[in-house]
Amino acid sequence: MPIDPSLRSATISVLVENEPGILARVVGLFAGRGYNIDSLTVAPVEDGRNRSRINIVTSGTDMIIQQIKAQLDRLVPVHRVADLSTEGPHIAREMALIKVIGSGEQRIEALRLAEAFRARVVDATTGSFIFEMTGATEKLDAFLDLMRPLGLAEVSRTGVAAIARGVRII
């Protein structure tokens, strides 16, 4: 894919009323208007007010990302929309469970790299490891690239959870 310099990635957090169909509304908006979803996470936030937080990593020109924010904001059950990538520093993390199948030298190399990347071994058999790893998306990507020749068999990733640094809240 040619890299368009006017495209940027955005991490958007949306605070929504936790009601049936809300995820379909958000995802339908992206599908219907042709916006990208690179990653999506959703879970209730336990503030006693029946709300959920949706984190979406998307990409587009600045005009499109503004448009995505405005479109999300006018959904009736949406409380607040924040583009964390432009509203000051933020932290974004995801978790992955990574199954590597192999033996001999490859197996030892996989374990050595996992230690270097601070991935935890959460399951092991004589022929396999499952690593648990948390970090920025790029760190996970880098680790997976290294595992590929070492018997990477299956990955389960959570998608990005993100939050603003410091005292700022959305």
Partner 1 sequence: MSQTQTAPATAAQPEMQAELQSGSEVLLRALKEQGVEVIFGYPGGAVLPIYDAIFQQNAIRHILVRHEQAAVHAAEGYARSTGRVGCVLVTSGPGATNAVTGLVDALMDSIPLVCLTGQVATHLIGNDAFQEADTTGITRPATKHNYLVKRSEDLARVVHEAFYVARSGRPGPVVIDLPKDILINKAPYASAPVAPHRSYRPQTAPDMGQIGKAVAALKSAKRPIIYTGGGVINSGQGASDALIKFVRKTGFPITSTLMGLGAYPSNDTQFLGMLGMHGTYEANLAMHGCDVMLNIGARFDDRVTGRLNAFSPGSRKIHIDIDRSSINKNVAVEIPVVGDAGLSIEALLEAWDNEPRQVDTAALSTWWSQIEAWRGIDCLKYTQIQTKGGIIKPQYAVQRLYDITRESGRETFISTEVGQHQMWAAQYFRFDQPKRWMTSGGLGTMGYGLPAAMGVQVAHPAALCIDIAGEASILMNIQEMSTLAQYRLPVKVFILNNQYMGMVRQWQELLHGSRYSESYTEALPDFVKLAESFHGVGLRATSVDQLDDVIREMIASDRPVIADICVDQKENCFPMIPSGAAHNDMILGAEHAARAPGVTDAGMALV
Interface residues with partner 1 (CB under 8 A)?
16-17, 20-21, 24-25, 28, 32, 63, 66-67, 70-71, 73-79
- Smaller CB distance to partner 1: residue 21 or 48? 21
CB of 7 to partner 1, least distance (A): 17
Distance CA 114, CA 121 (A): 8
The residue (of 77 and 159) whose beta carbon lies closer to partner 1 is: 77
Nearest distance in Å: CB 109, partner 1: 49
Q: Which is nearer to partner 1, 1 or 63 (CB)?
A: 63
Q: Give the SS3 label for residue 100.
A: strand
Shortest approach of partner 1 to residue 34 CB, angstroms? 13
What's the min distance (Å) between Cβ of 88 and partner 1? 21
Residues 163 and 170: their CA atoms lie apart, in Å, by 8
The torsion angle over the Cα atoms of residues 61, 67, 68 and 70, rounded to 10 degrees, is 150
Judged by CB, which is closer to partner 1: 16, or 84? 16
> Which pair of structure tokens corresponds to residue 105?
């030298």
The span from the first CA to the last CA of the chain, in angstroms, equals: 34
Cross-strand pairs, 56: 12, 40
Q: Exposed, middle or buried: residue 125 (CB in 10 Å: 0-12, 13-18, 19+)?
A: exposed
Give the nearer residue to partner 1 in terms of CB position, either 48 or 166: 48
Q: How far is the CB of 71 from partner 1 (least distance, A)?
A: 5
- Is there a contact between 116 and 101 (Cβ–Cβ < 8 Å)? no
